[in-house]
Amino acid sequence: MKRKDALRAALSARSQEPQQEPQAELPAGNPAEPVDMPSEAPRPLVRSGAVGAMGRSLGRIASAAAEARAMVASGDRVVELDPALIDGSFVQDRLTGDPAEHAAFVELIRERGQQVPILVRPHPGVEGRYQVAYGHRRLRAAAELGRPVRAVVKALTDEDLVVAQGQENSARADLSYIERALFAIALEDRGFDRATIMAALAVEKTQLSRLIGIGRAVPATIVAAVGPAPKAGRPRWTALVEALARDGAGEVVSRILAVPDFSDLSSDDRFARLLAGLTAPAPRPAPSPAIWTNLGGRPVVRIERGRQGTQLTVDDTLEPDFAAYLIQSLPQLYAAFAESKTRDETD
């Protein structure tokens, strides 16, 4: 069996990876030696008062243990490596994550250990180093905790690596729509063909075209300001792209991004505010006031119509007595108005 086919066969046996993953303590020994995985999954201990990201972490423990056993069952050797010897993938697949969720992830690793190994390959350009295909967050957590990271080492081509990286994220379904779009664009810009990108993201041709089209239509400055927006799917990103094409959209975006509290919002709220600002109906300009001139052509009365009523402004410097005359004539004017209405209704 070819190496790439073997990799994909191994990947197909894996279950969904949890975002946070507990495990038993690592046995001491040579970091290059294989490590036996636990035969049973540790039970999740849900403590009273667990909230937010920590609660989401504990809820996915069982699937983490199953995934680890599946990896070992496929014949992969799990070793311990120094995180300092491992470099990231050559293609970024994530925007900046939620600091609170990352802190909860690190805390759970601290308390319970790493359950699911990461996948690395020997670095193609640096002797003695490795390059990660997936498991960047586990690698970062291990580095922050000063611990070795459990890893499966495979000899992967660039194509094998991006397929493994993409399929891992697709299986977990935790990359946002815009992150998937940017990942697809990064692969295309590096010269990977559409077939490889489709395999990496587990999408068909039309879906991939939409991903790349939307990703390229959103300016990098907006992506950086908004972030991953995990709740925003294709329809909302499509609506944003359409709104960005309208006249004056650039000014609206600049104004919204400049609001002091914008960066304090969550990524989803930043997206929602930007989309709402771009799609809000433009305020109707106030109608220009009309001017009534007398027989001599002098602008005596300024007429302004608004939602609340109509305002007449008489220029007393031009006709000092005209305003008083209008006020005195209101009863006769109204009577004539009422008579005309009655006549129109009977005609």
Tell me the three-class secondary structure of 106-161, residue by residue. HHHHHHHCCCCCEEEEECCCCCCCEEEEECHHHHHHHHHHCCCEEEEECCCCHHHH
For residues 258 and 210, the answer to whether their CB atoms sit within 8 Å is: no
The pTM (predicted TM-score) of the whole model is 0.52
In this prediction, residues 218-238 reach a mean pLDDT of 93
Is the pLDDT at 66 greater than 90, yes or no?
no
Read off the pLDDT band of 262 (50, 70, 90): very high
The domains found in the chain, sorted by start residue, are 1-171 (3.90.1530.10)
Q: Which residue has the higher pLDDT, 125 or 42?
A: 125
Residue 331 token pair: 């009863």
The pLDDT value recorded for residue 347 is 61
Residue 161 token pair: 């690596």
What is the 8-class DSSP label of residue 173?
Answer: T
Measured distance CA(171)–CA(173) in Å, rounded: 5
Closest CA to 91 of 169, 19, 38, 27: 169
The mean predicted confidence, pLDDT, of the chain is 77
DSSP code string of 230-252: TT--HHHHHHHHHHHTSTTHHHH
pLDDT above 90 coverage of the chain, percent: 34
- 110-136, pLDDT tens digit by residue? 888 888 888 999 999 899 999 988 888
Classify residue 155 as exposed, middle or buried by CB count within 10 Å of its CB (0-12, 13-18, 19+). exposed
Closest CA to 303 of 311, 293, 315: 311
The pLDDT value recorded for residue 96 is 63
